[in-house]
Amino acid sequence: MRQEFRKPTGNDVPNDPEPSEAEPASEDGASGRDGSDVPGFDIANWWLNARRLRESVFGAEVFKEPDWAIMLDLYATGASGKRIQVTDVPIMTGLSRTTARRHLGELEEAGWITHVEDAGDHRRTLVSLSDKGWVMMTLYFRELIEKMDRPLPGKF
């Protein structure tokens, strides 16, 4: 199931309309606006479309937000050639240790990530995307960039 995507217009943060310019909502709740004059409309629309694409690539029931936070961090870290210790995942994602451990287990069981013992220090366990996880994340981002014409800026 593929979604049609609306490309960002480049007007990501328009000026706030004056109160007199805002159209009142009709009886059915519709405002009569297209959203383009609302601050952040294009960014919110971009993220919603990115989420729909994520669900179409990975499946809606597979990825909850903690799973996605872990996958994004593993993808970005892996792309930069770094390796992550399991104990670093909660810090990187902002998840509690218990939540991170639970989701790491679910992701590994589903085949999205792998755990390996650190060859340099057998007390540490490293986590990374599995081959399946890497391929699907790369596919997702390629398709996202293609459909959205351009990604959001990389730095805030």
Q: Which three-class secondary structure state does DSSP give residue 113?
A: strand
Which residues touch 66 (CB under 8 Å, ≥6 apart)? 93, 95, 99, 100, 103
As a whole number, mean pLDDT of residues 137-148 equals: 84
Q: Which tens digit of pLDDT belongs to each residue from 85-107?
A: 999 999 988 889 999 999 999 99
Confidence class for position 152, pLDDT limits 50, 70, 90: low
Angle, CA 111 vertex, CA 72 and CA 142 arms, to 5°: 45
8 A C-beta contact, residue 83 and residue 121? no
pLDDT at 125: 93
- Which residue has tokens 């589903």? 110
List the chain domain ranges. Answer: 41-148
Share of the chain above pLDDT 70, in %: 66
pLDDT band (50, 70, 90) for residue 23 = very low
Domain 41-148 in this protein, CATH class = mainly alpha
Of 37-41, 58-62, 125-129, 136-140, highest mean pLDDT: 125-129
Top-confidence residue, 15 or 117: 117
**Residue 145 identity (one-letter amino acid):** I
Write the CB contacts of 123 (distance below 8 Å, at least 6 apart in sequence): none
Please give the single-letter amino acid code of residue 17: P
pLDDT at 145 over 60: yes
Query: Residue holding tokens 């650190």?
Result: 118
